[in-house]
Amino acid sequence: MDEIDRAIINALQGGFPLSPTPFADAAAPLGLTEAELIDRIAALRRSGVLSRFGPLYNADRFGGHNTLVAMAVPSDRFDAVTEIVNSFAEVAHNYQRDHHFNMWFVIAADSREKVAAVLTEVEAGTGLPAHDMPKLTEFHIGLKFEA
């Protein structure tokens, strides 16, 4: 990442313009054109610096439910299990960790029952236990990169 990439990531974590020209509006304060911003975001995604670019919804505020899930996945099955887990539209934020529980992801759905159903399907599809850790308290943790 260069200084411009850091500035983009820092700026866009604070929100994204809701306008007819959101990329142009987000690019202007950064001294970029709309096309430059779109190209840089795409490059950050391709390189893996950004795993996703899009809105993050708080399911509970919409009457839904979400939970954090941890799984211990054998290394030789990690890619196959990832494919199964990521096949569910309700799954987001799937990360590999250097830990016994090496796969962590979030399930967000319109009801607690749907979350439970997805957990059951994940376990059935992978043959592995999925540890359900529903949110008890919400914390906001910001991530900023120093320029």
Distance, CA of 137 to CA of 145 (rounded, Å)? 26
Token output for 35:
């096309």
Q: What is the mean pLDDT of residues 85-109?
A: 92
Q: Which residue has the tokens 């919400």?
A: 138
| pLDDT at residue number 143 | 66
| pLDDT at residue number 66 | 87
Interval 73-83: pLDDT, tens: 999 999 999 99
CATH class of 59-134: alpha beta
Interval 26-45: pLDDT, tens: 999 999 999 999 999 999 98
Interval 109-135: pLDDT, tens: 989 999 999 999 999 999 999 999 987
Nearest to 106 by CA among 135, 79, 127, 126: 135
For the chain, what are the domain ranges?
A: 3-47, 59-134
Distance, CA of 111 to CA of 120 (rounded, Å)? 14
Answer yes or no: pTM beyond 0.75.
Answer: no
Distance, CA of 41 to CA of 56 (rounded, Å)? 16
